[in-house]
Structures are given as C-alpha cells and as structure tokens.
Amino acid sequence: MSKKLSILIADDHPLYREGIRTVVQKEPLVETIIEEGNGLRALQCIETLLPAVAILDIDMPGMNGLAIAEEVQKKNLPTKLIILTMYDDEDLFNRAMDVGVMGYVLKDGAVSEIRSCISSVIEDIPFVSPSLSKMLIRRSGKQLKSDEQLGISALTPSERKILRFVGDGFTTKEIADKLSLSPKTIENHRANICDKLQIHGTNALFRFAMENKRFL
C-alpha cells in the first residue's frame, strides 16, 4: 500500500464496530474511517464516497453484506470488499467469492487478522481467515478444473484482464484507454482470445465473459 486509504466499517453492533475501528486506525496508511450500522446506508456510502475498502458484516438490517457485494460488482465500483462473519459455512463462503469479495474473515479472529486482510485486498490478493483455508483450497481446485474445461487456462494474464473488461461492458476503445494501448492491439487480443476459446459470432466474447466472470 502506498497511498492514504479510506475505510468503511459496516456492522450493526456499535461495540464490535468500535473494536474493529480501534484496530484499523492503527494502520498508518488509513486516513479516513467511516462507520455505518445499516446495510442500505453502507451501500449508499460506497456508491457516493468510493472508499478503498469496505468491511461488511454479513448480517445487517437494511441489506446484508452479500447483497451489498452483488450491487458493488454489478455497478463495477472500485471498492475492495471484506466480509465479517460468525459462520464457517462453505456455501456462504463460495457465494461471497462469486460476487467479488476479496477478504473473508471470521469475527472471532477479526481483531488479529483485519489489518493483514486490508493490506492483502488493496494489492488484489484474496485473504481468508486461516481456519477457513481448506475452503479456499477446495474452491481453487474446482476453479482450476473449470478453467481447464473452459479453455481459460490457455489465456495469458493480459488476455484475462481484457476479457474481464469485456465482461464489464467496456468497448474496445475504452479498454485501450485503460491499458494505454491502441484499439488495434486490443482488437488483436480479442481475436486471439476468441481463437483460444473457440468462440465466434457477434457478442459471443461478451456473453462468454459475462457467464464465466468468476473464473477470470
């Protein structure tokens, strides 16, 4: 991490929220901490303030943490999401990962883990409570198998990035601007991706990227 960060902490228990705040504010690069006790208001804060990281309780009045994550993903907002939960439920874990959550922390270990989690997700590195690591390993194994079946494993990191942009609805010119490349270069990448994935036809690449976004 190199720039000052704004952090949203959303939890409907004030004492627990205060405990997380006390730990987070010890991080030198955290400049602003916003607190909310309602999920709907937390989403509004994310949409208007665009904090670098949002720490979300999975259960909140107004809107739960997973529903907030779905909206953040749908709107392609840049905020990195961390879910706090009391549950070591694998279905909930996989649902969270599917909607773009980068950090998944059990509440009973949050005080000791949350700063490491923030440092990881800011660098686009997923963080999971160590006691849940088996879930991440199982998920990674399933994802690798899916990657191979879909042909995604044949794509370079640059091609995967472009495919993610395609799935998010960006045009060739917009992708070129984001990556500081020419539109022609992006068109060549798109053609190579289509060849590797063996997909053809108008909008076929966009449909593929949308349907398989969680594997990219």
* DSSP bridge pairs for 186: none
Q: What is the pLDDT of residues 66-117, one digit of tens each?
A: 999 999 988 889 999 999 988 777 778 888 888 889 999 998 888 889 999 9
Reduce the DSSP state of residue 83 to 3 states and report it. Answer: strand
Q: Tell me, what CATH number does 175's domain have? A: 1.10.10.10
DSSP E strand stretches across the chain: 5-10, 30-36, 53-57, 80-85, 103-106, 127-128
Q: Is residue 68 part of a domain?
A: yes
Cα of first residue to Cα of last residue in the chain, in angstroms, is: 24
User: Using 50, 70 and 90 to split pLDDT, how confident is the model at 55?
Assistant: very high
Q: 12 and 117 share a domain?
A: yes
Reduce the DSSP state of residue 170 to 3 states and report it. Answer: coil
State both tokens at 200: 């053809």
Average per-residue pLDDT for the chain: 86
Among candidate residues 117, 208, 123, the one with its CA nearest the CA of residue 167: 208
Measured CA to CA, the distance from residue 23 to residue 121 in angstroms comes to 17
Residues 188-198 as b or e (16 or more Cβ within 10 Å = b)? ebbeebeeebe
Which of 122, 141, 160 is the endpoint of a domain? 141
* DSSP bridge pairs for 5: 30
The model's pTM is 0.64
115-128 average pLDDT score:
89
What residues contact 96, with CB distance under 8 A and at least 6 apart? 58, 65, 66, 69, 83, 104
Which of 95, 122, 141 is the endpoint of a domain? 141
Q: Is residue 176 part of a domain?
A: yes
Tell me which residue range forms the domain holding 33: 5-141
Q: 18 and 103 share a domain?
A: yes
Q: Which of 71-75, 139-143, 207-211 is the least confident region?
A: 139-143
Q: Is residue 146 part of a domain?
A: no
Q: Is residue 76 part of a domain?
A: yes
Q: What is the pLDDT of residues 45-54, one digit of tens each?
A: 999 999 999 9
Residues 44-71 as b or e (16 or more Cβ within 10 Å = b)? ebbeeeebbbbbbbbbbebbbbbbbbbe
